[in-house]
Structure 1
Amino acid sequence: MKKILFFIVLFFVAKNIAAQDNAFFTWDAFQLVAKVNAKWHWISDISYRTIGISSSANQYTFRTAVKRVVNEKWSTTAGVALFRSRTSIDKHNHEFGDEYRLWQEVLLENKLNKSLVISNRFRTEERFFAATATKNSYNALRLRYRLAFIQDITKKVKFQIADEYMRQLSKGDFLFQQNRVAATGIFTTGKKTQLTAGYMWSKLPTTSQHYILLVLQKTISFKKENNGQK
């Protein structure tokens, strides 16, 4: 219980620190994992990202994908996504621009010991941006690599720290796009539900942004587990 309270306090401390910066956002998401069988999963998520502590939306997102579990270490995923983003962080600007995305990833997870996992994720994204009042339509290819360490604290609580580097090819230039560093607590709240909460700092080419993260994940299974019984 003390460890859970520690993560809650850490969450609100980060929230207060980030709130002092103008480039501060909250990132709330719901993810549904549908296990067709042990090897094939269908994953969908929606998110609502706001400007600061307010109801002013900065971005709406929807993603859906198919995941193939190769073995206990390797998995691959491919999907599509739709992002609607405010064209500036000014709350009085009501224009949103659309981005359509195809994405693919490879994930490798290795246990360093009984309670610590190292995760390596490489993702590619083909991004298609629709025209807005200030920009013409354009395409981009973004490459992402994330390194994460996941430590078991208790049977129901984990702590994760992750760093993700992104580089993007657009209009003939292959440039640094952003780097994200995140610290989150992962709480198992039921047999098939999980809550992730924490803080993320994103370094962009000319500025930086702060995020408070809150993600609820629900897992469903189409095939009943037999718990070893035949």
Structure 2
Amino acid sequence: MRSAQDGSERFARDGRARIARNGRARSAQDGRARLGHVFVAGVAVLLGVCFLTACAEDVRESAPVSTAPVIAPGRPGEEARTLSPAEAATAVPSPTVNAADVRYVQDMIVHHRQALDMAALAPSHASSAKLKALAARIHDVQEPEIRVMTSWLDREHLPRPDHHADHSDMPGMATPEQMEALRAASGATFDSLFLQMMVAHHEGAITMATTALTEGSHLTVEQWATDVIAEQTAEIRRMREMQGA
């Protein structure tokens, strides 16, 4: 009986040992399997990222370059132009100031100042109410423009114009003798001389603004020049109507 009982106990112990060994083996096998699954999943994610990156680069490299023409509006009095994409890229005004921009702003301040000197004579010398109103409008438009352009020069650390220098070679500028004759005139004589001088003065300003649009590069200066052309072209038309009345 004892031998049979001992044999049964050994059999039970051996069975439990085998079960424990098999359990540890299965756990190790399961762990290796899970590790393998994680590794495979990681490789799949990495390959997916590489694939998407390569696709994105291919899309960027294969993105079509626009070859459609660009319509550029013309300046006052000019027709619109059709430009190629390359021409359009170089036609955009630059924020960089060049010598033509500086010259235009400095000269236009002086030019506007003389127009204000002429307009200031109208209230006491002119006989036409329309001419007095025109002179007032010239003052109201050009005096603020002088302030804006002067502030721009200061902001860009550029010198203000020398008002005492000789500016007789500037387009449309009245000579000292012409200014003296205007101050001495009155009534209808003043009206006629004022219109004659101011038309020439405005035409000179348009010439200066056109040069700035051609040679300048700064976007702000280009806008000012465009405004001058539009404003003074309209005023010339009104003054010619007054001359013909």
Structure with greater proportional helix content: 2
Q: Which has the larger radius of gyration?
A: 2
* Same fold? TM cut 0.5: no
Q: Give the TM-score range, shorter chain.
A: under 0.3
Structure with greater proportional strand content: 1
Structure-2-length-normalised TM-score:
0.22
